[in-house]
Amino acid sequence: MSESQLFRYRNNADVNGHFCYSSLLYFPQLLDVPVVVGGSEEKRHGIVLSKNQAAKNYKIITGSSLYQARQLCPTLESLPPIYPLYERTSHDFYRFLDQFSDISAPFGCDGKTIDITGTAHLFGGGPGSIRGVEAIVRELHERFPREYGLNLSIGISWNFSFAKMACDTAGPGGVRWIMRESPEDTAWQKEVYAMPVEDLLYIGEATKNKLWAKGERTIGDLVRCGPELLNTWFGKVGWEHYVRATGLDTTPLTAMDGGPPMRTIGNGSTTPYDMQREEQVHNMVHVLASSVCRRMRAHKVEAKTVEVSIVYTMDGDMRRISYQCPIRIPTNLDSEFASAALELFFRRFNMRHPIRKLEIRGKDLSFNTSVYQTSLEYNALSREKAMKLAACKDEINERWRRAVVRCVEMADPLLAGLGSKPNQQFAPAGWY
């Protein structure tokens, strides 16, 4: 391992209870009482999006319904989400971290990892010195709450996965280090290998349950399984779990002015009603396609594949199914993308079961300089006009918030506003 790899410092910071505490800046009288930010129960989005520490003490889980949360805490206060506020505080958070490094990877709207290997010496000590890293951590821990009124959890390590894991387990306003003295140093293994396997990045509930069923409950247990056995259980993802657990993760962070695009861009929403007619699906897909394509155009990419995910009700149970297929010509135009999604949907899914949630996603993204073969089906001049019109619409909406209203929203007012939340990148481009 090279010296530069040894003395690499990754610093991950998360805003504690981002949505909830951002809202509480305007409701300071509620700081000490149990509070959650929840969606609209009338539109069937009534789930807990964020909570404060007082609500956590009642074991309220993010993602649970507001009804379940009130069963745990009858005195619970619920605030509606204020997405423009969260977009602003997220921007402030990103901009604050950019003061310390221009090499970073966002993780959702309230988390970000920065590589401070090349900038730590500016804050004290020489190259490879820990003093500069400690100074940066102090700055983050003290200045951000003072200037913005929000607390940070901070994790520091030599790789992205451990920095994120350290941050997630640091506790509210806490700081946790997972470091080593040299490549031969194994002292960190005693701490990391004893941690629950679900603390490892990208190990979700299903993977945890599968590992637990096989008696593997700690990160150390996962490592002792070895990459070959993990591959037989999880496919190539098993190898990735092993790499992250052993500290060999080399996930790249990118400079602010460069780096690859995201692998996928998508959007989905629970509908205000169960969809049982083709017309309702048509309207919903066009609403979601407009949002997805707007974001693809903002990133200057086109999708080569469309994916449709459906949550439907069958025999009283909620079930999920996904389909995907290639698109004839890479696109980021609303009408073309929606048409591809609708064609896939009606070819693969029947309307016998009520649909509760729909999601569409553009995959296999490429920069929109792609060269493709024209055909009689796709008129090049018409496509060029459609692209200019889409760019014009994006510029108008950017300058005057949502000044261009989608026709389907006028046909079905209950769909108004769906898909218009701020952009969020939930994982570094290097992984998924």
What's the CATH number where 384 sits?
3.30.1490.100
Structural domain ending residue among the three candidates 154, 185, 216: 185
Same domain for 317 and 373, yes or no, is yes
In this predicted structure, what is the pLDDT of residue 362?
94
Type of residue at 277: R
Same domain, 231 and 179: no
SS3 175: strand
Could you tell me which residue, 323 or 406, shows the higher pLDDT?
323
Q: For residues 248 and 368, state if they share a domain.
A: no
Q: Which pTM does this prediction carry?
A: 0.74
Check whether 5 has a pLDDT greater than 60: no
**How does residue 6 score in pLDDT terms, banded at 50, 70 and 90?**
very low
- Minimal CA–CA distance to 99: which of 262, 299, 261, 256? 256
According to the model, what pLDDT value does residue 410 have?
58
Q: According to the model, what pLDDT value does residue 107 have?
A: 84
One domain, residues 70 and 112: yes
Domain span holding position 116: 1-185
Residues 157, 153: Cα–Cα separation, whole Å: 14
pLDDT at residue number 329? 87
Q: Give the pLDDT band of residue 180 (cuts 50, 70, 90).
A: confident
* pLDDT for 426: 37
Q: Does one domain contain both 382 and 394?
A: yes
Residue of 386 and 176 predicted with greater confidence: 176
What is the DSSP secondary-structure string of 289-322? HHHHHHHHHHTTEEEEEEEEEEEEEETTEEEEEE
Cα gap 13→140, rounded to integer Å:
8
Of the residues 151, 185, 219, the one at which a domain ends:
185
* Residues 319 and 401 grouped into a single domain: yes
Q: Give me the pLDDT at residue 98, please.
A: 92
Both 247 and 158 in one domain: the answer is no
Q: Looking at residue 152, which CATH number applies to its domain?
A: 3.30.70.270
AA identity, residue 272: P
Query: Band of the pLDDT at 418, cuts 50, 70, 90?
Result: low
pLDDT, position 152:
96
Residue range 137-148: mean pLDDT, rounded:
94
| Domain membership flag for residue 407 | yes
Residues 69 and 19 occupy one common structural domain: yes
Task: Taking residues 329-354, report their average pLDDT.
Answer: 91
**Residues above pLDDT 90, as percent of the chain:** 52
| pLDDT value at 409 more than 80 | no
Question: CA of 380: how far to CAs of 337, 352, 365, 370, 389, in Å?
Answer: 16, 39, 21, 14, 14
Q: Is residue 429 part of a domain?
A: no
Q: Is residue 298 part of a domain?
A: yes
pLDDT tens-place string over residues 351-406: 888 998 899 999 988 886 555 666 666 677 787 888 888 888 878 877 776 555 56
The predicted-structure confidence for 247-263, as pLDDT tens digits, reads as follows: 998 877 766 555 445 67
Question: CATH no. for residue 201?
Answer: 1.10.150.20
Q: Assess if residue 431 is contained within a domain.
A: no
Is 70 exceeded by the pLDDT of residue 4? no
Q: Look at the chain and report how many structural domains it folds into.
A: 3
Residue 421 counted as domain residue: no
Same-domain pairing of 222 and 89: no
The rounded percent of the chain whose pLDDT value lies above 70 is: 85
Of 234, 259, 284, the domain-final residue: 259
